[in-house]
Amino acid sequence: MGDDYPTLFRSEQMSLMQFLIPTEVAHDTVAELGELGNVEFKDLNPAVNPFQRSFVGEIRRTEEMARRVRFFESQIQKEKDVVPIRPLYNSAPLVTVGPSAAHNIDELDVTLAEHETRLVQMNDSYKTLSERTRELVEARHVLRETAVFFEKAETQQTDIRTSFDDSSAPLLQHDDREQQYLSTVQFDLEFVAGTIDRTRISTFERVLWRVLRGNLYMNHTDITEPFVDPATGTETRKNVFIIFAHGDALLAKIRKVAESMGATLYPIDANADKRSDSLREVTARLEDLETVLYNTGVNRRSELLRIGENLAKWQDVVRKEKAIYETMNLFNYDVRRKTLVAEGWVPTRDLTMIHMALRHATEESGTSIVPILQELRTNKTPPTFTRTNKFTEGFQTIMDAYGIATYQEVNPGLFAIVTFPFLFAVMFGDIGHGLIIFFAALYMIFKEKKWAKQELDEILGQFFYGRYIILLMGMFSVYTGLMYNDIFSKSLHIWHSGWDFPESDGVSYAVSNGHMYPFGVDPAWHGADNGLVFTNSYKMKMSIVLGVIHMTFALCLQLPNHIRFKRPLDIYANFIPQMIFLQSIFGYLVVCILYKWSIDWSTRDTEPPSLLNMLIAMILSPGKVDAASQLYTGQGFIQVVLLLLAAVCVPWMLCMKPYFQWKEMQMIQGQGYVGLGHRNGGPRESADEVLEIEEEGNGRVIVEEMEEEHEQHDFSEVVIHQIIHTIEFCLGCISHTASYLRLWALSLAHAQLSEVLWSMTIEKFLGMSGIFGTIALVMVVVFWFSATVFILCIMEGLSAFLHALRLHWVEANSKHYQGEGYLFTPLSFAKLDEKE
């Protein structure tokens, strides 16, 4: 195309290019193209199983590396003390193209494997060491507590005799006697000592009691500090117990019961000296273990820190390599010429950039064979690519959400830049609220660079993505607020009002003083009892006027499409009757609204007619216009003419296009072509195949996808399609025009909410005086402001956003938009980042 610059009006022109890439340069070429982000590669091996593709081995290796990198990331995240990860823009890049690339990747593979084994080893040893530490700590507790028991037993000896006669605790006496017996025998009684979970101790006691029929003496104490499981972090509390019993059988039973209840038994010596030896030994071992544990921890942390330095770089490299090999899997390997053949869509404007990139890649890799680029002719539909910048991106996205534009049709996103915020503002009109959202958007734009790098959470991220939309919404809202004369439910009194209110005790009727409030709604209406009557009528009529004009504008966007795609039939068969239909009824309504407003009814002798009744009467009883309530002379005749025009448009829309298409089909059939494509193309194809083998690099598309749907020009389908189209348009005209009344409804709701908030909060507290009054006023102002931001700005804002969007998607787009395209998704390393 001859245009110098890309425009948002249509999607870019795309070309299908065939790349012939020598195998040695393939990796570097794809890397370079990925950095550019301008080529969407087609899959040339659609029938091949992913496991049978040529580069499966490399992908497997990259996956292994990716897994290791993910493992490192999870280990770093689990650390309580944050391990800093050096951000990508701060890291030294790892060279992945050029002659040293393969060596670098191998080195990376080895490094990652080493780090992983080291880390896994350290993790394992840390775990085993912690377990052993725990056991030793338990053993130490057991030793200490049992020492206490034995001491207590010794001291209790002397007290026992005195309480001998007490019969309330017979078993205890029995035990004490046993102990007394023991003390003389130097504690020859066998015992079992160990630890058990605190929750289980009572069950343990009961079970033992039943099993041994009371032939035991058990004592237990709590271990004060809990044991923390290093893997899960759960705390368990344990008790130390010691059980004295007599006889091997009993001891065996005790041991079995203890094991079944999950207790850990420790060998304790009866001799006090031996016990203190063991205690010393345990303490020494514990100290050693703690040192080792500490060192392991330190080593692990330093390892993680080292990993953290490079982690972002590795993630980036691994991601890119995977993308490169996946893309290379899409290529076709030409065995004869030892090159890879690739096909991809490229924006025509960027072809020189691609050429330069290819040349750069070959230079980097050190070979002298430049990949060859060829344009292919095809009748496949190219993808739709609209070049956006950070400002237009948001608007394009919200219009794309309805449907991607067909290749090179008029892009509604361009116009949405202004019409969307404007229609939003009509529903939101308030100077104060508009300023609030304007400043919020301005703040986000100031923080743009910083926030773009961060990971914003979902909701804030959405608002940040649409910051320019919100900015424009705020600006237009200030304008419409000026028009509605509404700032936080008060009105401004900038110019001379057109009404004067005379002093009166009862009802005070305003008197016109000749002035005309030049810019916006007269502030006299604010606070008037019939203010709503006026504003409702004004806003409703405004909604209809704006709606019909918006729909007319959208309808006119059909013209560039018909001209571009060379469909003159559509102009005469679709566009013109649709326009006449819309204008003859609703355009006429708009003209009547404006005309009625422009007449000074006090100088006329006819009554001002109700426009709604007039429109209904026009359709139901055409030609009959009551002279006393006519808008203008000759109205009856003109209305009949308009109605007839509209009536003629319906069969025009229904019949003209099918008729002409039918004539065209007859003509084609008459010239002897049966079916499409195959038979005619047959002989030609085989001749070309012979030539292909001899020619070098001809422009044939490698994969002739037979998926091309040849449209069946079945006449019945054409007729049905046209009927649906006609009905949809005609009914749509009426329903869509009424739908625009939401502009009135939402602005009314907004104004009323705002007024209610003011009168229920601040107004009630304005009269209060004194310290209490001031404090209460301040608190109420805070409440009023937060309610304004959350309810009126955010909630109402979202609501108005949604309705404005609906107006664009349904009412406007249905007049011209086809939306059958598919989005251009180039191989782009920058976008890979966003995807994660």
Q: Is the dihedral of CA 116, 119, 124, 127 positive or negative?
A: negative
The residue to which tokens 């404006």 are assigned: 594
Candidates 123-131, 417-425, 636-644, 651-659; binding stretch for other proteins (CB under 8 A): 417-425
Residues forming beta bridges with residue 220, ordered by sequence position: 241
SS (H, E, C) 475-506: HHHHHHHHHHCCECCECCCCCCCCEECCCCCC
Applying CB under 8 A, among 327, 491, 583, 661 the residue interacting with other proteins is 491
Shortest distance in whole angstroms from residue 491 CB to other proteins: 5
Nearest to other proteins of 317, 524 (CB atom): 524
In the bound complex, what is the minimum distance in angstroms from residue 496's beta carbon to other proteins?
Answer: 10
Residue 764 DSSP class: H
What's the sign of the alpha-carbon dihedral 402, 404, 410, 415?
positive
User: Contact with other proteins (CB under 8 A): which of 4, 458, 707, 709?
Assistant: 4
CB 474 within 8 A of CB 437: yes
**Which of 1, 41, 29 minimizes the C-alpha distance to 824?**
41
**Residues 656-695 contacting other proteins, CB under 8 A:** none
Beta strand pairing call for 238-245 and 235-236:
unpaired
User: What is the footprint of other proteins within residues 535-574 (CB under 8 A)?
Assistant: 537-538, 541-542, 545-546, 549
Q: Can residue 231 be called a binding residue for other proteins (CB under 8 A)?
A: no
CB closer to other proteins out of 310 and 419: 419
Q: Least separation, in Å, of the C-beta of 498 and other proteins?
A: 7
CB of 747 to other proteins, least distance (A): 12
Cβ nearer to other proteins, comparing 456 with 545: 545
Q: Are 331 and 44 in contact (CB under 8 A)?
A: yes
Site for other proteins in 714-773 (CB under 8 A): none
Label the pairing between strands 339-347 and 227-228. Answer: unpaired
Contacts of 24 (CB under 8 A, 6+ apart): 365, 367, 369
615, exposed or middle or buried, with CB in 10 Å at 0-12, 13-18, 19+? middle
Closer Cβ to other proteins, 65 or 417, answer by number:
417
The residue among 508 and 613 lying less far from other proteins, judged by its C-beta, is 508
Of 7, 184, 295, 666, the one binding other proteins (CB under 8 A) is 7
Q: Residue 94 has which token pair?
A: 């790892």
Contacting other proteins (CB under 8 A), which of 150, 244, 422, 729? 422
Site for other proteins in 423-452 (CB under 8 A): 426
What is the SS3 assignment for 244-295?
EECCHHHHHHHHHHHHHCCCEEECCCCCHHHHHHHHHHHHHHHHHHHHHHHH
Cβ within 8 Å of residue 588, ≥6 positions away = 639, 642
Assess contact for 654 and 726: CB atoms under 8 A. yes
Candidates 14-22, 248-256, 413-421, 763-771 — which segment interacts with other proteins by CB under 8 A? 413-421
333 makes contact with other proteins (CB under 8 A): no
Q: Which is nearer to other proteins, 97 or 548 (CB)?
A: 548
Interaction pattern, residues 496-515, with other proteins; x per rule: CB under 8 A: --xx-x-xx-xxxxxxx-xx
Within 598-627, the residues that bind other proteins by CB under 8 A are 598-602, 608
Under the binding rule (CB under 8 A), the answer on residue 171 touching other proteins is no
CB of 484 to other proteins, least distance (A): 8
> How many Å is the Cα radius of gyration of the chain?
43
Query: Smaller CB distance to other proteins: residue 518 or 623?
Result: 518
Cβ closest to other proteins, residue 509 vs residue 772 = 509
Minimum CB separation of residue 466 from other proteins in Å reads 17
Q: What angle do CA 778, 784, 790 make, to 5 degrees?
A: 140
Cβ closer to other proteins: 359 or 496?
Answer: 496
Q: Which residues 360-399 are close enough to bind other proteins by CB under 8 A?
A: 387, 389, 392
Q: Which amino acid is at 147?
A: A
Q: Among 227-235, 593-601, 668-676, 695-703, which window interacts with other proteins (CB under 8 A)?
A: 593-601
Q: Which stretch binds other proteins (CB under 8 A): 1-9, 243-251, 270-278, 774-782?
A: 1-9
Binding mask 512-541 for other proteins (x = CB under 8 A): x-xxxxxxxxxxxxxxxxxx-xx--xx--x
Nearer to other proteins, 255 or 387 (CB): 387
Q: Which residues pair with 41 in a beta bridge?
A: 344
CB of 87 to other proteins, least distance (A): 31
Residue 88 or residue 556: which is nearer to other proteins going by CB? Answer: 556
238-245, strands of its sheet edge to edge: 217-222, 238-245, 190-197, 264-266
Q: Which is nearer to other proteins, 239 or 747 (CB)?
A: 747
How open is the CA angle 769-772-775, to the nearest 5 degrees?
A: 100
> Does residue 490 interact with other proteins by CB under 8 A?
yes
Nearest approach in angstroms of CB 468 to other proteins is 12
- Residue 37 within binding range of other proteins, rule CB under 8 A: no
Q: Closer CB to other proteins, residue 212 or residue 414? A: 414
> Number of residues in contact with other proteins, rule: CB under 8 A?
71
The 10 Å CB-count burial string (b at 16+, else e) for 146-157 is beebbeebeeee
Q: How far is the CB of 114 from other proteins (least distance, A)?
A: 49
Residue whose CB is less far from other proteins, 130 or 561? 561
- Spatial distance between the Cα atoms of 35 and 357, rounded to a whole number of angstroms: 9
Among 139, 342, 417, 592, binds other proteins (CB under 8 A): 417
Choose the stretch contacting other proteins; rule: CB under 8 A; options: 70-78, 397-405, 475-483, 768-776.
475-483
| 451: its two tokens | 């926030």
* Alpha carbon 823 to its chain's center: 18
Of 250, 286, 260, 375, nearest in space to 697 by CA: 375
How far apart, in whole angstroms, are the C-alpha atoms of residue 388 and residue 414? 10
